[in-house]
Amino acid sequence: MFNTLLPYLLAGISVGGQYALIAVGYTLVYGILRLINFAHGDIFTAAGFFMIYLTASLPIGISIPLVIILTVILGFTVERVAYKPLRSAPRMSIMISAIGVSYLLQNLMWYLTGGLAKQYPVLPGLSQTIRIGSATTKVVTIVTPILTILLVFALVTLINKTKIGMAMRAVSKDFETSQLMGIKINNVISVTFIIGSAMAAVGSLLYFTNYTAVTPTVGAMPGLKAFVAAVFGGIGSIPGAMIGALIIGICENLIKAAGWTAFSDAFTFALLIVVLLFRPTGLFGEKVTDKV
């Protein structure tokens, strides 16, 4: 029994870890801005394309940091251009702006890349296959959950122990008051987008090493699932996003193992609905207290 399930579990943990890295970006931005950054999945896709074009002319060792830097610049620019001018606008406007950015990025990539699937470069080490028990898989499957946990741990430490982390917590509690206390709100928001984009870039490295084709719309589904994971775990909570993502990744693969392949996506979203019915704030969400 365990031997049959092992390959599914491995695949589930791996894809869950990759969702987690994207989900962190959603949950961070939501925690601070109360904004669902719909463009996040496309920033993840863009990171995939950066890697393909950079490795065409540069060695992998230089490409990887460059990909992370470029993705961070993209995330930062999106925030400055499309969200910052709308800071005092109603929340709906900024949400529409996010959807607009998402489609803009998608179509830009469509135009610039010619709209065909591109083959992701082979990362030495990560792409090799190894044998674990009864399952054969890529090394990246094992690396993903470990790297995800390390990154999430580092991020939680950053938020709890550093000055910028304290500022982020303050801003997420109360926007106006923290501004009055002398916190430079724009800097805090930029840092949020920088961290979120960097995580998405790392996530894209792992995801595309496993699933090697990059198309302009490839980020839509993982982006949506990561968003579900973030809501599932309690949006605003970083460990929640990670655990939510792992649960979704594993459940998805187990459902496929049971033979209901056509329903695995439907299941993900049904699970979300059920959880929200019983725990409207998600698994680890903070209780909503209305202040008067």
Binding site for another protein (CB under 8 A): 4, 7-8, 11, 15, 110, 114-117, 119, 129, 135-138, 207, 210-213, 215, 217-218, 220-222, 252-253, 256-257, 259, 261-262, 264-265
Give 193 or 207: the residue with its C-beta nearer to another protein. Answer: 207
Shortest spacing between CB 63 and another protein, in angstroms: 19
Shortest spacing between CB 97 and another protein, in angstroms: 25
Shortest spacing between CB 2 and another protein, in angstroms: 13
Query: Which residues have a Cβ under 8 Å from the Cβ of 140 and sit 6 or more positions away?
Result: 14, 123, 126, 127, 206, 209, 210
Q: What is the 3-state secondary structure (H, E, C) of 23-85?
A: HHHHHHHHHHHCCCCCCHHHHHHHHHHHHHHHHCCCCHHHHHHHHHHHHHHHHHHHHHHHHHH
Give 222 or 244: the residue with its C-beta nearer to another protein. Answer: 222
Give 17 or 31: the residue with its C-beta nearer to another protein. Answer: 17
Shortest spacing between CB 60 and another protein, in angstroms: 17
Number of H helices, E strands in the chain: 11, 4
Supply 131's token pair: 């044998």
Q: Which one-letter amino acid corresponds to residue 105? A: L
Return d(Cα 41, Cα 224) in angstroms, integer: 7
Question: Whole-angstrom distance between the N-terminal and C-terminal Cα of the chain?
Answer: 56
State the sign of the Cα–Cα–Cα–Cα dihedral 32, 35, 41, 47: negative
Give 115 or 133: the residue with its C-beta nearer to another protein. Answer: 115
Shortest spacing between CB 47 and another protein, in angstroms: 15
Query: Which residues have a Cβ under 8 Å from the Cβ of 227 and sit 6 or more positions away?
Result: 23, 26, 36, 40, 41
Give 254 or 276: the residue with its C-beta nearer to another protein. Answer: 254
Within 13 A of 114's CA, how many CA atoms are on the CB side?
Answer: 3
Give 212 or 281: the residue with its C-beta nearer to another protein. Answer: 212
Q: Checking DSSP bridges between strand 135-138 and strand 118-119, what pairing results, if any?
A: unpaired
Shortest spacing between CB 78 and another protein, in angstroms: 23
Shortest spacing between CB 139 and another protein, in angstroms: 10
Give 35 or 43: the residue with its C-beta nearer to another protein. Answer: 43
Helix, strand or coil, per DSSP, at residue 137: strand
